[in-house]
Amino acid sequence: MSATAQTPIIPIKSSSEPPHVIAPDAATIYATRAQRFDQLAEGHSLGDWLRFLATITRAQHAALQSLPALALPEASQLARTREHRMPPLPAQSWPRDPLWQTALREIAVAIADAAPEPAKKDLARLAGFDDERLEALAGRVLHTELYGDDVALLPYVAAALQVVWTAGAARLGASRISALDVPGVCPCCGFLPVASVVRGVGEVGNLRYLHCALCNTEWNLVRIKCSSCDATEGISYRHLEAKGLQGADAVRAEICDSCKSYLKIVYQEKGPVDPVADDLATLALDILVDEAGYARSGPNLLLAPGG
């Protein structure tokens, strides 16, 4: 190759620090995720389920686009949470807008035709619940009590809550979300991360961001550090050897020997990865790591445990 044929190196701007927080883009977050679910479903042993998750995610996209503007906390309240280094839209105490139930009904209607038989029964049951029972299910999701009766209904409830919290995070924007003292929880809503993403390009290239399981906000955490206990020693990585499994090489489990927990990392350099979709397409990795004695440190709310 001659010197003139080389691709010119375009310096990335170094004037600004990489962002600590990246707020979700309400216009694209769920549309992009749905595409990734569809892509991962091709030739996958769980293809039908992943395609149904694509349908749910597309319904989340539609519900988010039609959601009226949410009331955010007053400026004085936001200033107070910033001063005390508290999340501005805390999962467990932000008074949730009843609009989340509207989002739930919209999602349920949009996915009904595509739902497999057991899911159809779950959705019919959910449709019969009154406000009080729905609020009780929402409370369980937001307190990560993902077990017990009706556990199969929780992913639908979670999908609607994700829409509302994502709308709130997007409306707030990164400039109004600041770092917390606890690096392992979301600086916008205080919820746990579903996975982390190593960014592939641009000014945030090669940086690792944790991705909130509830509001889709991302926040920076240095590489090779446990997001659960802050340990930097005894961290190791596992991945699936499975040949032909879509996206398997883009995902690793970051394992911590100090607290015996793990969380997955998805690598954007490997393609159009999504922390939620790629996580669910690699459940075999969870089984592998669970069997080795490690417990997952953050939930994927679209998965009903044992469901």
Name the site residues for Zn ion (rule: CB under 5 A). 186, 188-189, 191, 212, 214-215, 217, 226, 228-229, 231, 256, 258-259
Nearer to Zn ion, 101 or 217 (CB): 217
The kind and range of the H/E element at 205 are: none
**CA 60, 220, 198, 302 torsion: positive or negative?**
negative
Paired with 263 in beta bridges are 254
User: Helix, strand, or coil here: 62?
Assistant: helix
CB 54 within 8 A of CB 281: no
Q: Which is nearer to Zn ion, 71 or 229 (CB)?
A: 229
Of 265, 163, 278, which is closest to residue 209 (Cα–Cα)? 265
Positive or negative torsion for Cα 293, 231, 86, 215 = negative
Q: Of the two residues 52 and 294, which places its CB atom closer to Zn ion in the complex?
A: 294
For the bound state, the minimum distance from the C-beta of residue 193 to Zn ion, rounded and expressed in Å, comes to 8
Which residue, 89 or 111, is less far from Zn ion as judged by CB?
89
Spatial CA neighbour of 60 closest among 166, 140, 133, 138: 166
Residue (21 or 126) nearer to Zn ion, CB: 21
Nearest distance from C-beta of residue 168 to Zn ion, angstroms: 9
Q: How far is the CB of 116 from Zn ion (least distance, A)?
A: 30
Minimum gap (Å) between residue 131 Cβ and Zn ion: 24
What is the SS3 assignment for 157?
A: helix
**Distance in angstroms (rounded) separating the CA atoms of residues 214 and 159:** 9
> Residue 174 has which token pair?
């990164």
Minimal distance, residue 41 CB to Zn ion, in Å: 27
CB of 32 or CB of 114, closer to Zn ion: 32
Supply the minimum distance, in Å, between the C-beta of residue 38 and Zn ion. 25
